[in-house]
Amino acid sequence: MAEVEMKDKIQQLLDESINPAVAGHGGFVQLIDVKENVVYIQMGGGCQGCGMADVTLKAGIERMIMEEVPEVTEVLDTTDHASGNNPYYTPGKS
């Protein structure tokens, strides 16, 4: 599949499935790029800096994208999580 086509499918997935779901926690996910079968995304709103962003990414978003576009080998998060000022979950030591 060409990268342009991959981008379109992933964007559609974000628009129709992923973003409506993460909006429940005030979050959103943006597609930044697709290069050599690696998808680059950025998380915002409640996802930016969220203590569970990795779970949402690896156990949810990445799997969803890979199911829809099997050529994808990895989804990388390029978010500056340190700058998130309204994360849904904030970590604390235990």
Partner 1 sequence: MPRLLLLIPTTTYRTEAFLEAARGLGVEVVVASERPNTLQDAFPQSLLTLDFQKPDLAAWEAAEFARRYPIDAVVPVDDLTTVVGAAIAEALGLRANSVESARAARNKAVMRGLLSRAGVPGPRHRLVSLDDDPELLARTGPYPSVLKPTILSASRGVIRADNPAQFVAAFRRIETILRTPEIVATGDGARQILVEEFIPGVEVALEGLLVNGKLQLLALFDKPDPLDGPFFEETIYVTPSRHLPAVQSAVADCAARAAHALGLREGPVHAELRVNGDGPWIIEVAGRSIGGLCSRTLRFGTGMSLEELILRHALGMTIPSLERERRPAGVMMIPIPRAGILSEVRGQSEAEAIDGIEEIAITAHPGQTLVPLPEGWQYLGFIFARADSPERVEIALREAHRRLQFVINPSA
Using CB under 8 A as the binding rule, the residues of this chain from 23 to 82 that contact partner 1 are: 24-25, 27, 49, 51-52, 54-56, 58-61, 63-64, 82
Q: How many residues bind partner 1 (CB under 8 A)?
A: 31
User: Measured in whole angstroms, how far is the alpha carbon of residue 57 from the centre of its chain?
Assistant: 5
Nearest to 68 by CA among 25, 5, 10: 10
Q: Which is nearer to partner 1, 16 or 36 (CB)?
A: 16
Token digits of residue 12: 């559609």
Nearest to 82 by CA among 24, 55, 43: 43
Residue 92 CA to residue 37 CA, distance in Å, equals: 35
Q: Does 90 bind partner 1 (CB under 8 A)?
A: yes
**Residues forming the site for partner 1 (CB under 8 A):** 17-18, 21-22, 24-25, 27, 49, 51-52, 54-56, 58-61, 63-64, 82-87, 89-94
